Amino acid sequence: MVKSIVVCVIILLFLVGFGKIRETKLRTEEHDASLKKLYAKDFYIGAAVNDGVILGKNTQALQILKKEFNTISPENVMKWQEIHPSPNSFNFEMADKYVALGKKNNMHIVGHTLLWHSQIGSWMNSVKDSAVMANYIKEHITTVAERYKGKIDSWDVVNEALNEDGALRESVFLKVMGERYLEYAFKIAEKADPSAELYYNDYNMWKPKKREGAIQLIENLQKNGVKIHGVGMQGHWGLTEPSLEEVETSIIAYSKLGIKVAITELDITVLPNPWELEGAEISQNFENSDEMNPYPDVLPDSVEVQLANRYRDIFKLFLKHSDKIDRVTFWGVNDKSSWLNNWPIKKRTNYPLLFDRDYKTKKAYHVVTGLKTN
């Protein structure tokens, strides 16, 4: 009797001890893990940064950024409206700080974006003359790209020039200058900074018709001898859409054009989608309601697992094509600051990234790192 009690106590002590060792090991692994280190041989891995990170005010986000990521994108500070608010004035204060942050931490620095119909200087919308439009575009791209010459590694030269059906978007640039604005923008960017990589960037780049349109756009540039180094697939995706097959088909198709593929703005929404909304067309906005905001306090475990599985599948696919993919960038550091809390419905609680509102790693983080450690 006494003997069996002693044996039981020994076994119990052993189990407790083992548990402690395992717990410590897990904690150490979490502490040591780093996305950028684990994926160093596959692709750059990054995050878009906002004012709080750039100014160093959000110290927790900054800590994550330095530990986990080796490339940054400016979520807003390089957009036309921010950097060039009126025809004769430029405001480089935040953009300079953004570039300094990247340099200080030895990161691959992305410029986003030189030409986008949205967030553009308001006067641009009333330009009617093609030569005047061309001059404004030239002045803008030249001034910005020359300032950061040799510092920005990769520019999103043109952003979101396509409709969902693959035709060119009726932007003010297209209306006033015609198709040639695309070639024009890339040529000016190349002249301003010949060492920077030049990208075309858009959402829903997995959709077959949009893919065809993008391929045509890129081939037209190439046919005319215009330099383009890569294509950005933004990656504002959901738990089930797009299918991995569509994403894969696009990665392969773009790569066949002889250019790099980057996943430039990755986030996975877990919230209901009003109507049949897809992508990131920011002019769309809808009413908030309890039904549309089902997890205001906490994400149920079942959905967190779904999100983790989705990230696992997506990263497996990225790894399979790491020879074609140059970079994977998340659109934000953690859930709290994601644009998806305010789009397409304002003031919801979304959970699209790998770090939660308390700057802690989520299950999704552990599966993404786990793919490289297990």
Query: Binding to ligand 9MR (CB under 6 A): which residues in 118-137?
Result: 119
Taking the complex as a whole, the smallest distance from the CB of residue 79 to ligand 9MR amounts, in Å, to 6
Q: Which residues are registered as beta bridge partners of 158?
A: 115, 200
Q: Which of 160, 190, 197, 304 is catalytic?
A: 160
Contact partners, residue 58, CB within 8 Å, separation at least 6: 52, 337
**Does residue 77 bind ligand 9MR (CB under 6 A)?**
no
Element (H, E) at 49: strand 44-49
301-320 and 244-255 helices, crossing angle to 10°:
30
Is 160 one of the catalytic residues? yes
The one-letter code for the residue type at 269 is: T
Decide whether 236 or 366 has the Cβ nearer to ligand 9MR. 236
Q: What are phi and psi of 158, to 5 degrees?
A: -120, 135
Taking the complex as a whole, the smallest distance from the CB of residue 280 to ligand 9MR amounts, in Å, to 4
Query: Binding to ligand 9MR (CB under 6 A): which residues in 327-346?
Result: 339
Distance CA 276, CA 334 (A): 26
Q: Which of 42, 68, 193, 265 binds ligand 9MR (CB under 6 A)?
A: 265
Q: Which of 35, 45, 62, 79 binds ligand 9MR (CB under 6 A)?
A: 79
Stretch that binds ligand 9MR, among 75-83, 251-259, 314-322, 362-370 (CB under 6 A): 75-83
Distance CA 148, CA 124 (A): 23
Stretch that binds ligand 9MR, among 37-45, 73-81, 206-214, 302-310 (CB under 6 A): 73-81
Distance CA 88, CA 135 (A): 13
Stretch that binds ligand 9MR, among 71-79, 101-109, 181-189, 283-291 (CB under 6 A): 71-79
Is 291 one of the catalytic residues? no
Q: Which of 68, 75, 197, 265 is catalytic?
A: 265
- Within the chain, residue ranges assigned H as helices are 2-32, 35-38, 51-54, 59-68, 80-83, 93-104, 130-147, 172-177, 180-192, 208-223, 244-255, 301-320, 363-373
Query: Binding to ligand 9MR (CB under 6 A): which residues in 205-264?
Result: 234
Stretch that binds ligand 9MR, among 4-12, 72-80, 100-108, 136-144 (CB under 6 A): 72-80
Angle at CA of residue 61, ends 55 and 64, nearest 5°:
125
Which residues make up the interface to ligand 9MR (CB under 6 A)?
Answer: 75-76, 79, 119, 159, 234, 265, 280, 282, 339
Q: Residues with catalytic annotation?
A: 160, 265
